Structure 1
Amino acid sequence: MKSQFRQRWWVLASLAFGILAVGLDMTILNLALPILAKDIQATNAELQWFANGYNLVFAAMLLPMGMLGDRIGRKKMLLVGLLLFGAASLACAYAASPWELITARVFLGLGASLIVPLSMAIIPVMFSEKERPKAIAVWMMANAVGIPLGPILGGWLLNHYWWGSVFIINLPLVIAAILAVSFLLPETRSEEHRPIDLRGVLISSTGLIVLTYGVIEAGERGWANAFSIIGVLAGLLLLMCFVVYQTRTTHPLVDPSLFRSRSFTGGTLIGSIISFALFGVLFALPQYLQVVLEVDALSAGLRLLPLVIGLLIGTPISDALQSRFGTRTAIIFGSVLLGIGLAIGSATDISTGYGFASIWISAVGLGIGLALPAAMDEAISALTPERSGVGSALLMAMRQVGGTLGVALLGAILNAGYRNHLNMEDWPVEATEIAQRNVSAGMMAARQIGSDSLVHSVKTSFVGGMDNMLWGCVGAVVVGIVFTLSFLKVRPVDSENSRTSLEAKE
């Protein structure tokens, strides 16, 4: 028990509000894009940059911001991040032009790059090993639940208020977090006074930007596009160079022992794979609900509640499993359940309906709730209090890459399956190109033609593509299970000394 942090649970609960705001912001904007295209006359390229500007800055600045938290003070930098996130949310809400909104979104991403890793970084500092799984469960629930809640809350807000309300909703959450952090969180920082690894910052940030942008472009242009492939390969090469450089430089940005730690490497890889599957599912499900089942945005968001409920139920069960059997068992059990849910979902056809979907969506949420907190606990167990900020940032950067790759790669599988299932011989020539863009365009073209058979063809083709995508998710989960068995050892539970000695042996 770390008695010097007596109010640690109140601090973590308050930080959950800030984390929830970040999670909401990742998905809540998607529903407002059609309205933004009309109200501030945004082009398709500008609509893409509303999301891309945020994602690129968030990915690029995670490691530098984690380092600043370790050096300057985690409380100071958390407050800076919360203030920046709140101010940027207000600027987004009242943006009068596309470039004003893009600029505000860039600063929103910068604020998130401080909040996410530093809120996680306090966990190994403030909580004992026995308490850590519970603390991670609270943090993870706030982070993960915000993502599927975005469409629900966003749909309700857009039905009742103007588009800026999807950003205004961040303000009460941020204010609550600022007040609690100001009064309850003691300042912590690293006692190490190492020179700043500017070369490491430059290589890692450039690599994350190039990789993220390459993946985004692949999602838009397809994986056959040379520019997209070059971006992805160049980003991966830069990140590999960063890892090699960190093991050889005198004053590395990231503790080189993390790259040799089975716990950190395994937990990070598994967490990234789970994020890969989660973001792929969240990419496909709203389209399935809105296009195939033909419900509105708010109803589609509400139909994602089984995923949220599964997460909420699975997370405390994961804590209990970790306490009794260890993290490896919790990860495997959750991953198997996740894989079963995804495999059941791959049997979806145009006639199954929402009742069938709610079953496999619940299983997916429950599996993620079991596996993801355990994977994060395994990774965080390797972090020292002195460098928890940059270590947490590295963990979150890899999860961000996993989620971005999930949307791009799994989205490509979905779109390829959709196009391959469409029988274009039945389409008029002028509608063919429109129908092949995506399922929403296909439905619009089929409705304009007034052909029920073509509407049925679009729905059937999308479901076929989604089934292929879900099998891709199953394959990723199987890889995650193999990683778990390969990297993670069975460890004695509830014994801080035994874990420490095992880590030393590795």
Structure 2
Amino acid sequence: MILVTIALLLVLVPLVQGRELGWPTWTFVSMGLSLPFFALFVWNSKSRGTSALVPTRLFRSRGFAGGVAMIGVFFAAMSAFFLAYTLTLQVGLGFTPLKSGLTSLPFAIGTMITIIPGDALVKRFGRYVGTAGALVFGLALVGMLSTLDANTDFWNMVPWLLMAGLGMGAVIGPVFAMAGAKVRQEDAGAASGTLNAGDQLGGALGITLLGVLFFNNLTTKAGTTFDAHATDLTEAGVPSGAVPEMKNCYVEMVGLSDPSAIPPSCQITGPVNPGIGSVLTTVRAETFAHTFNTMAWYVVGAMGVVALLSFLLPRKMPADATQLALTPDRQPT
């Protein structure tokens, strides 16, 4: 436990803090130092045999190893998706926290629809339930890409979020059942804990890694989107000579970790034409929408990986399969 905790801290802390601090040298040193600790953890697990925190013999089962990888990639992609989606709705499109939260209702309903009959679906169709779930989730995101823009409202997103929820329920139900199909009964506890740790670790890594990509893309999109509306700002009353300074202010503001903060370059004195604020609101909405759409393609690709990993699971559920549990705090509500 100590070894794996140190290894994860050495990776996650620099990934979370690195961008905000400007990627100092210690962040890369820390991530490099995580490798020997991970290696020590694996060596310790092998040397301890049956008393290991994670018995290495579990990974001799192709189905279990595939299930851990599948669940890690899936929750990494899903966690990153909701991070980008929530920031886009609230900071980019100006949704209130309540309205933004309510948009997840169709997703939860869709998950419930497929996760409740999960056992029956797995017994009938085996691993292909998870394959179909990952593909449905990916297709829902592709549909969302054609919908989410600066003028998106709640109802535009309902069908795609419902569809994504159906895909999630079809993935997480079968993967726990199928991954444990060939695990020995005495290893059921360790196997269940490892799978649950896999989704927690996947979620943490997804938010950190894809979160870095999201914010880096956000800064890039801020400049290009602003340039596309430079003429609108001039027509709204901004002197042409002041547009570059306003662009620097906007890009700097978008890059801040606190969206409510005002950088020194954005201090304005005197009256401001309301038309300028309207243009900047549009620029902000388009910046976040374009960044989300770019980010979503990474998630679509991850769903393709999940679909491929599902073929490592057993084709059908054996009658004497070991049933692993999904911890209550990870069940969609």
Structure 2 length as normaliser, TM-score? Answer: 0.77
State whether residues 253 and 262 of structure 2, in contact with CA within 8 Å, keep that contact through their aligned partners in structure 1: no
Q: 1:294 to 1:283 in 2, by over 3 A?
A: same
Task: Establish whether residue 404 from structure 1 lines up as the match of residue 207 from structure 2.
Answer: no
1:465-480 maps to which residues of 2 (within 5 A)?
A: 465-480=291-306
Counterpart of 1:316? 116
Counterpart of 1:454? 280
Q: 1:488 to 1:268 in 2, by over 3 A?
A: same
Deviation string for 1:61-119 (max 9, x for gaps)?
A: xxxxxxxxxxxxxxxxxxxxxxxxxxxxxxxxxxxxxxxxxxxxxxxxxxxxxxxxxxx
Higher relative contact order (CA 8 A, sep 6+): 2
Q: 1:488 aligns with which of 294, 313, 318?
A: 313
State whether residues 273 and 402 of structure 1, in contact with CA within 8 Å, keep that contact through their aligned partners in structure 2: yes
Counterpart of 1:417? 217
1:167-182 maps to which residues of 2 (within 5 A)?
A: none
Deviation string for 1:134-169 (max 9, x for gaps)?
A: xxxxxxxxxxxxxxxxxxxxxxxxxxxxxxxxxxxx
Q: 1:216 aligns with which of 8, 12, 16?
A: 16
Cα distance between partner residues in 1 of 2:154 and 2:162: 12
Q: 3-state DSSP class of the match of 1:349?
A: coil
Q: 3-state DSSP class of the match of 1:350?
A: coil
Q: 3-state DSSP class of the match of 2:16?
A: helix
State whether residues 140 and 163 of structure 2, in contact with CA within 8 Å, keep that contact through their aligned partners in structure 1: yes
Task: Establish whether residue 433 from structure 1 lines up as the match of residue 252 from structure 2.
Answer: yes
Deviation string for 1:271-330 (max 9, x for gaps)?
A: 11111121112212222222333222122111211111111112124332201011x111
Q: 1:218 to 1:392 in 2, by over 3 A?
A: farther
State whether residues 181 and 318 of structure 2, in contact with CA within 8 Å, keep that contact through their aligned partners in structure 1: no
The structure that is helix-richer by fraction is 1
Deviation string for 1:303-359 (max 9, x for gaps)?
A: 211111111112124332201011x11110100001101222223221343222222
Structure 1 length as normaliser, TM-score? Answer: 0.53
Report the AA paired with residue 473 of structure 1.
V
| TM-fit CA distance, 1:443 | 9.5
Counterpart of 2:240? none
| TM-fit CA distance, 1:455 | 2.0
* Structure 1 unaligned regions, length at least 5: 1-200, 501-506
Cα distance between partner residues in 1 of 2:19 and 2:247: 27
Counterpart of 1:165? none
Deviates more, 1:231-240 or 1:366-375: 231-240
Cα distance between partner residues in 2 of 1:345 and 1:225: 37
Cα distance between partner residues in 1 of 2:69 and 2:25: 27
State whether residues 181 and 314 of structure 2, in contact with CA within 8 Å, keep that contact through their aligned partners in structure 1: no
Report the AA paired with residue 488 of structure 1.
L
Q: 3-state DSSP class of the match of 1:355?
A: helix
Q: 2:82 aligns with which of 265, 282, 296?
A: 282
Counterpart of 2:26? 227
State whether residues 222 and 250 of structure 2, in contact with CA within 8 Å, keep that contact through their aligned partners in structure 1: no
Counterpart of 2:57? 257
Report the AA paired with residue 477 of structure 1.
M
Cα distance between partner residues in 1 of 2:294 and 2:42: 34
Task: Establish whether residue 305 from structure 1 lines up as the match of residue 105 from structure 2.
Answer: yes
Q: Which runs of 4+ in 1 moved over 6 A?
A: 442-449
